[in-house]
Amino acid sequence: MLIALDAMGGDYAPTINIEGALDTVNEQNDINVILVGNEPLIRQELRGKRFDPDRLRIRHASQVIEMHDAPSAAIRKKKDSSIRIGIDLVKAGEADAFVSAGHSGVVMATSLLLLGTSQGVDRPAIATLMPTLKEPFILLDVGANVDCKPENLLQFGLMGNTYCKLVLGRSEPKVALLSIGEEDSKGNELTKEAFKLLKNTSLNFIGNVEGKDLFTGKADVILCDGFIGNIALKVSEGLAEAILKMLKQEITSGSAGRLGYLMLKPAFRNFKKRTDYDEYGGAPLLGINGASIISHGRSTSKAIKNALRVAEDFSRKRVYEAIAQAIVSTPATSPVGH
Protein backbone atom coordinates (compact mmCIF):
# COMPACT_ATOMS: atom_id res chain seq x y z
CA MET A 1 0.00 0.00 0.00
CA LEU A 2 1.41 3.35 -1.08
CA ILE A 3 0.12 6.53 0.54
CA ALA A 4 0.75 10.12 -0.55
CA LEU A 5 1.28 12.36 2.48
CA ASP A 6 1.06 16.15 2.31
CA ALA A 7 4.39 17.05 3.90
CA MET A 8 3.52 20.76 4.04
CA GLY A 9 0.08 20.78 5.74
CA GLY A 10 -0.58 21.36 9.44
CA ASP A 11 0.70 23.57 12.22
CA TYR A 12 3.97 21.66 12.73
CA ALA A 13 4.78 20.83 9.10
CA PRO A 14 7.00 19.63 7.64
CA THR A 15 8.90 18.33 10.70
CA ILE A 16 6.23 16.24 12.39
CA ASN A 17 4.69 15.06 9.11
CA ILE A 18 8.05 13.61 8.13
CA GLU A 19 8.52 12.15 11.60
CA GLY A 20 5.14 10.41 11.30
CA ALA A 21 6.07 9.06 7.88
CA LEU A 22 9.46 7.80 9.12
CA ASP A 23 7.87 6.05 12.10
CA THR A 24 5.32 4.47 9.79
CA VAL A 25 7.74 2.99 7.27
CA ASN A 26 10.17 1.92 9.98
CA GLU A 27 7.49 0.23 12.12
CA GLN A 28 4.88 -1.03 9.69
CA ASN A 29 5.68 -3.30 6.78
CA ASP A 30 2.48 -2.76 4.85
CA ILE A 31 2.59 1.02 4.37
CA ASN A 32 4.95 2.89 2.04
CA VAL A 33 4.79 6.68 1.83
CA ILE A 34 5.34 9.38 -0.79
CA LEU A 35 6.15 12.69 0.89
CA VAL A 36 4.63 15.46 -1.26
CA GLY A 37 6.08 18.95 -0.85
CA ASN A 38 9.15 21.15 -1.13
CA GLU A 39 11.87 18.62 -2.00
CA PRO A 40 14.94 20.52 -0.70
CA LEU A 41 13.15 21.16 2.59
CA ILE A 42 12.10 17.52 2.90
CA ARG A 43 15.62 16.27 2.06
CA GLN A 44 17.02 18.53 4.75
CA GLU A 45 14.59 17.12 7.34
CA LEU A 46 15.50 13.57 6.32
CA ARG A 47 19.24 14.16 6.62
CA GLY A 48 20.80 11.68 9.02
CA LYS A 49 17.58 9.69 9.42
CA ARG A 50 17.58 5.94 8.80
CA PHE A 51 14.95 4.59 6.42
CA ASP A 52 14.52 2.43 3.33
CA PRO A 53 14.47 4.84 0.33
CA ASP A 54 12.29 2.38 -1.61
CA ARG A 55 9.61 2.75 1.05
CA LEU A 56 9.79 6.49 1.66
CA ARG A 57 9.91 8.56 -1.52
CA ILE A 58 9.57 12.25 -2.32
CA ARG A 59 7.45 14.03 -4.91
CA HIS A 60 8.26 17.70 -5.32
CA ALA A 61 5.49 20.33 -5.13
CA SER A 62 6.56 23.94 -5.49
CA GLN A 63 3.54 25.55 -3.78
CA VAL A 64 1.94 25.43 -0.33
CA ILE A 65 -1.69 26.22 0.50
CA GLU A 66 -1.83 28.48 3.53
CA MET A 67 -4.63 28.27 6.10
CA HIS A 68 -5.88 31.77 5.21
CA ASP A 69 -6.12 31.00 1.47
CA ALA A 70 -9.68 31.03 0.12
CA PRO A 71 -10.36 27.52 -1.29
CA SER A 72 -11.58 28.62 -4.72
CA ALA A 73 -8.64 30.96 -5.35
CA ALA A 74 -6.15 28.46 -3.94
CA ILE A 75 -7.39 25.75 -6.29
CA ARG A 76 -7.33 28.07 -9.29
CA LYS A 77 -3.95 29.64 -8.65
CA LYS A 78 -1.87 27.03 -6.84
CA LYS A 79 -1.89 24.18 -9.33
CA ASP A 80 1.46 22.91 -8.06
CA SER A 81 0.49 22.73 -4.38
CA SER A 82 1.28 19.68 -2.26
CA ILE A 83 -2.47 19.05 -1.86
CA ARG A 84 -3.13 19.14 -5.60
CA ILE A 85 -0.12 16.98 -6.48
CA GLY A 86 -0.95 14.47 -3.76
CA ILE A 87 -4.54 14.00 -4.87
CA ASP A 88 -3.38 13.85 -8.49
CA LEU A 89 -1.20 10.87 -7.52
CA VAL A 90 -4.31 9.06 -6.27
CA LYS A 91 -6.23 9.99 -9.40
CA ALA A 92 -3.44 8.68 -11.62
CA GLY A 93 -3.29 5.42 -9.65
CA GLU A 94 0.26 6.17 -8.47
CA ALA A 95 -0.89 6.24 -4.83
CA ASP A 96 -3.66 4.35 -3.05
CA ALA A 97 -4.67 7.15 -0.70
CA PHE A 98 -3.91 10.75 0.28
CA VAL A 99 -3.46 12.20 3.78
CA SER A 100 -3.26 15.91 4.68
CA ALA A 101 -3.26 17.94 7.91
CA GLY A 102 -3.52 21.11 5.82
CA HIS A 103 -6.44 23.31 4.74
CA SER A 104 -9.40 20.94 5.02
CA GLY A 105 -11.63 23.04 2.75
CA VAL A 106 -9.05 22.82 -0.03
CA VAL A 107 -8.50 19.07 0.49
CA MET A 108 -12.26 18.61 0.29
CA ALA A 109 -12.75 20.75 -2.83
CA THR A 110 -9.71 19.33 -4.63
CA SER A 111 -10.73 15.75 -3.85
CA LEU A 112 -14.19 16.50 -5.24
CA LEU A 113 -12.70 18.13 -8.33
CA LEU A 114 -10.15 15.45 -9.17
CA LEU A 115 -11.63 12.21 -7.80
CA GLY A 116 -15.34 13.04 -7.97
CA THR A 117 -18.03 11.47 -5.82
CA SER A 118 -18.85 7.80 -5.42
CA GLN A 119 -21.76 6.78 -7.64
CA GLY A 120 -25.07 8.24 -6.43
CA VAL A 121 -23.51 10.52 -3.79
CA ASP A 122 -24.76 14.11 -3.80
CA ARG A 123 -22.42 15.64 -1.20
CA PRO A 124 -19.42 14.08 0.55
CA ALA A 125 -19.00 14.41 4.31
CA ILE A 126 -16.11 14.48 6.76
CA ALA A 127 -16.47 11.66 9.30
CA THR A 128 -14.58 11.77 12.58
CA LEU A 129 -14.25 9.32 15.45
CA MET A 130 -15.08 10.67 18.91
CA PRO A 131 -14.40 9.09 22.31
CA THR A 132 -17.17 8.10 24.74
CA LEU A 133 -17.32 6.40 28.13
CA LYS A 134 -17.45 3.12 26.16
CA GLU A 135 -16.42 2.73 22.51
CA PRO A 136 -15.78 5.64 20.12
CA PHE A 137 -18.53 6.66 17.70
CA ILE A 138 -18.55 8.25 14.26
CA LEU A 139 -19.80 11.83 13.90
CA LEU A 140 -20.56 13.22 10.44
CA ASP A 141 -20.57 15.70 8.80
CA VAL A 142 -18.05 17.78 10.77
CA GLY A 143 -17.50 20.54 8.27
CA ALA A 144 -17.79 19.67 4.58
CA ASN A 145 -21.36 20.97 4.10
CA VAL A 146 -22.67 23.81 6.22
CA ASP A 147 -26.11 23.96 4.62
CA CYS A 148 -27.68 20.55 4.05
CA LYS A 149 -30.87 19.10 2.60
CA PRO A 150 -32.66 16.23 4.38
CA GLU A 151 -31.51 13.88 1.58
CA ASN A 152 -27.90 14.73 2.41
CA LEU A 153 -28.39 13.60 6.01
CA LEU A 154 -29.93 10.37 4.71
CA GLN A 155 -26.86 9.76 2.54
CA PHE A 156 -24.57 10.61 5.47
CA GLY A 157 -26.41 7.86 7.35
CA LEU A 158 -25.76 5.30 4.63
CA MET A 159 -22.12 6.37 4.30
CA GLY A 160 -21.45 6.44 8.03
CA ASN A 161 -23.11 3.05 8.44
CA THR A 162 -20.89 1.52 5.75
CA TYR A 163 -17.75 3.08 7.22
CA CYS A 164 -18.66 1.89 10.72
CA LYS A 165 -19.26 -1.69 9.56
CA LEU A 166 -16.07 -1.95 7.51
CA VAL A 167 -13.63 0.00 9.64
CA LEU A 168 -14.92 -0.38 13.20
CA GLY A 169 -16.23 -3.88 12.49
CA ARG A 170 -19.62 -3.34 14.15
CA SER A 171 -22.14 -5.58 12.47
CA GLU A 172 -25.32 -3.53 12.81
CA PRO A 173 -24.36 0.03 13.73
CA LYS A 174 -26.91 2.08 15.66
CA VAL A 175 -27.46 5.21 13.57
CA ALA A 176 -28.90 8.37 15.18
CA LEU A 177 -29.72 11.97 14.30
CA LEU A 178 -28.29 14.75 16.48
CA SER A 179 -31.23 16.84 17.65
CA ILE A 180 -32.69 18.67 20.65
CA GLY A 181 -35.04 16.00 21.96
CA GLU A 182 -35.61 12.29 21.50
CA GLU A 183 -39.14 12.39 20.08
CA ASP A 184 -39.40 12.58 16.27
CA SER A 185 -41.35 15.83 16.69
CA LYS A 186 -38.26 17.51 18.21
CA GLY A 187 -35.73 19.27 16.00
CA ASN A 188 -35.48 21.88 13.29
CA GLU A 189 -37.02 21.66 9.82
CA LEU A 190 -33.97 19.84 8.48
CA THR A 191 -33.80 17.11 11.12
CA LYS A 192 -37.56 16.53 11.19
CA GLU A 193 -37.55 15.83 7.44
CA ALA A 194 -34.37 13.75 7.65
CA PHE A 195 -35.96 11.72 10.47
CA LYS A 196 -38.79 10.64 8.13
CA LEU A 197 -36.34 9.62 5.40
CA LEU A 198 -34.05 7.68 7.76
CA LYS A 199 -37.00 5.79 9.27
CA ASN A 200 -37.78 4.26 5.88
CA THR A 201 -34.42 2.67 5.20
CA SER A 202 -32.87 -0.65 6.18
CA LEU A 203 -30.53 1.23 8.54
CA ASN A 204 -30.70 0.42 12.24
CA PHE A 205 -31.98 3.95 12.86
CA ILE A 206 -32.52 4.55 16.58
CA GLY A 207 -33.98 8.06 16.20
CA ASN A 208 -32.78 11.32 17.72
CA VAL A 209 -30.05 11.69 20.31
CA GLU A 210 -29.34 14.91 22.22
CA GLY A 211 -26.05 16.70 22.76
CA LYS A 212 -25.76 15.24 26.26
CA ASP A 213 -25.90 11.69 24.83
CA LEU A 214 -22.87 12.16 22.60
CA PHE A 215 -20.46 10.70 25.14
CA THR A 216 -22.56 7.93 26.64
CA GLY A 217 -22.11 5.49 23.75
CA LYS A 218 -25.80 5.40 22.77
CA ALA A 219 -25.12 5.37 19.05
CA ASP A 220 -22.36 4.15 16.70
CA VAL A 221 -23.00 6.76 14.02
CA ILE A 222 -24.41 10.25 14.71
CA LEU A 223 -25.61 12.45 11.85
CA CYS A 224 -25.78 16.24 11.53
CA ASP A 225 -25.03 18.99 9.05
CA GLY A 226 -21.44 20.22 8.80
CA PHE A 227 -22.11 23.45 10.69
CA ILE A 228 -23.54 21.68 13.74
CA GLY A 229 -20.94 18.91 13.53
CA ASN A 230 -18.06 21.34 13.43
CA ILE A 231 -19.43 23.24 16.42
CA ALA A 232 -20.11 20.04 18.42
CA LEU A 233 -16.56 18.84 17.68
CA LYS A 234 -14.88 22.15 18.49
CA VAL A 235 -16.97 22.71 21.64
CA SER A 236 -15.87 19.28 22.83
CA GLU A 237 -12.20 19.92 22.11
CA GLY A 238 -12.35 23.36 23.73
CA LEU A 239 -14.17 22.15 26.81
CA ALA A 240 -11.91 19.14 27.38
CA GLU A 241 -8.91 21.47 27.28
CA ALA A 242 -10.56 24.01 29.58
CA ILE A 243 -11.57 21.35 32.10
CA LEU A 244 -8.05 19.95 32.33
CA LYS A 245 -6.67 23.47 32.78
CA MET A 246 -9.20 24.29 35.51
CA LEU A 247 -8.53 21.02 37.32
CA LYS A 248 -4.78 21.58 37.23
CA GLN A 249 -5.30 25.11 38.57
CA GLU A 250 -7.43 23.79 41.42
CA ILE A 251 -5.14 20.88 42.16
CA THR A 252 -1.84 22.70 42.19
CA SER A 253 -3.19 25.66 44.17
CA GLY A 254 -3.60 23.49 47.31
CA SER A 255 -0.61 22.18 49.28
CA ALA A 256 -1.86 18.60 49.57
CA GLY A 257 -2.96 19.12 45.99
CA ARG A 258 0.52 19.34 44.54
CA LEU A 259 1.55 16.02 46.02
CA GLY A 260 -1.76 14.49 45.02
CA TYR A 261 -1.20 15.71 41.50
CA LEU A 262 2.16 13.95 41.28
CA MET A 263 0.54 10.73 42.46
CA LEU A 264 -2.19 11.14 39.92
CA LYS A 265 -0.01 11.79 36.93
CA PRO A 266 -0.45 8.27 35.54
CA ALA A 267 -4.24 8.62 35.82
CA PHE A 268 -4.15 11.94 33.99
CA ARG A 269 -1.96 10.40 31.32
CA ASN A 270 -4.38 7.52 30.79
CA PHE A 271 -7.26 9.94 30.69
CA LYS A 272 -5.53 12.06 28.07
CA LYS A 273 -4.89 8.99 25.99
CA ARG A 274 -8.56 8.06 26.10
CA THR A 275 -9.71 11.47 24.97
CA ASP A 276 -6.80 12.33 22.71
CA TYR A 277 -7.75 13.16 19.15
CA ASP A 278 -4.25 12.09 18.10
CA GLU A 279 -5.25 8.51 18.83
CA TYR A 280 -7.84 8.64 16.08
CA GLY A 281 -5.69 10.54 13.64
CA GLY A 282 -7.61 10.74 10.41
CA ALA A 283 -11.08 11.81 9.32
CA PRO A 284 -11.94 10.32 5.93
CA LEU A 285 -13.95 12.15 3.31
CA LEU A 286 -16.91 9.82 2.85
CA GLY A 287 -18.57 9.89 -0.55
CA ILE A 288 -15.42 10.79 -2.49
CA ASN A 289 -14.52 8.20 -5.12
CA GLY A 290 -11.15 7.38 -3.57
CA ALA A 291 -9.31 7.54 -0.27
CA SER A 292 -8.70 11.11 0.93
CA ILE A 293 -8.09 11.57 4.64
CA ILE A 294 -8.02 14.78 6.65
CA SER A 295 -5.84 14.94 9.74
CA HIS A 296 -6.19 17.57 12.49
CA GLY A 297 -4.35 20.85 11.84
CA ARG A 298 -2.60 20.44 15.19
CA SER A 299 -1.54 16.89 14.31
CA THR A 300 1.47 15.43 16.10
CA SER A 301 3.63 12.75 14.52
CA LYS A 302 1.48 10.16 16.29
CA ALA A 303 -1.63 11.66 14.70
CA ILE A 304 0.01 11.53 11.27
CA LYS A 305 0.98 7.90 11.85
CA ASN A 306 -2.58 7.07 12.83
CA ALA A 307 -3.96 8.94 9.84
CA LEU A 308 -1.72 6.90 7.52
CA ARG A 309 -3.10 3.76 9.19
CA VAL A 310 -6.68 4.99 8.67
CA ALA A 311 -5.87 5.69 5.01
CA GLU A 312 -4.41 2.21 4.52
CA ASP A 313 -7.44 0.57 6.11
CA PHE A 314 -9.91 2.74 4.18
CA SER A 315 -8.24 2.01 0.87
CA ARG A 316 -7.65 -1.72 1.43
CA LYS A 317 -11.29 -2.25 2.41
CA ARG A 318 -12.44 -0.16 -0.55
CA VAL A 319 -14.87 1.79 1.61
CA TYR A 320 -15.66 4.20 -1.24
CA GLU A 321 -16.89 1.34 -3.42
CA ALA A 322 -19.06 -0.06 -0.63
CA ILE A 323 -20.51 3.41 -0.13
CA ALA A 324 -21.51 3.66 -3.79
CA GLN A 325 -23.20 0.27 -3.47
CA ALA A 326 -25.11 1.32 -0.31
CA ILE A 327 -26.29 4.57 -1.89
CA VAL A 328 -27.34 3.08 -5.21
CA SER A 329 -29.29 0.26 -3.56
CA THR A 330 -31.34 2.67 -1.40
CA PRO A 331 -34.08 3.97 -3.69
CA ALA A 332 -35.11 7.09 -1.75
CA THR A 333 -31.69 8.67 -2.10
CA SER A 334 -31.53 8.75 -5.86
CA PRO A 335 -32.03 11.21 -7.43
CA VAL A 336 -31.22 13.75 -4.76
CA GLY A 337 -32.40 17.34 -4.78
CA HIS A 338 -35.72 18.35 -6.21
Coil, helix or strand at residue 209: strand
Contact status: 11 vs a second copy (CB under 8 A): no
The angle, 0 to 180 degrees and rounded to 10, between the axes of the packed helices 301-316 and 319-328 is 50
Q: Min. distance of Cβ 264 from a second copy in angstroms? A: 4
**What are the distances in angstroms from CA 14 to CA 21, 82, 211?**
11, 11, 36
Q: Which one-letter DSSP state was computed for residue 217?
A: T
Among 196, 271, 318, 329, binds a second copy (CB under 8 A): 271
Among 73, 146, 196, 332, binds a second copy (CB under 8 A): 146
Written as one string, the DSSP assignment of 173-205 is -EEEEE-SSSSTT-S-HHHHHHHHHHHTSSSEE
Among 29, 52, 54, 256, binds a second copy (CB under 8 A): 256
Among 253, 331, 337, 338, binds a second copy (CB under 8 A): 253
Among 41, 240, 322, 336, binds a second copy (CB under 8 A): 240
Residues 15/297, Cβ–Cβ less than 8 Å: no
Q: CA-to-CA distance for 336 and 338, rounded, in angstroms?
A: 7
Coil, helix or strand at residue 158: helix
Coil, helix or strand at residue 304: helix
Coil, helix or strand at residue 94: coil
Among 48, 53, 266, 337, binds a second copy (CB under 8 A): 266
Among 15, 94, 172, 231, binds a second copy (CB under 8 A): 231
Contact status: 295 vs a second copy (CB under 8 A): no
Q: Min. distance of Cβ 179 from a second copy in angstroms? A: 8
Measured in degrees and rounded to the nearest 5, phi and psi for residue 94 equal -85, -15
Contact status: 72 vs a second copy (CB under 8 A): no
Contact status: 332 vs a second copy (CB under 8 A): no
Residues in the interface with a second copy (CB under 8 A) total 62
Q: CA-to-CA distance for 15 and 26, rounded, in angstroms?
A: 16
Binding site for a second copy (CB under 8 A): 68, 70, 132-133, 143, 146-147, 178-180, 183, 185, 187-189, 191, 210-216, 225-228, 230-243, 245-247, 250-251, 253-254, 256-257, 259-261, 263-264, 266-268, 270-271, 274-275
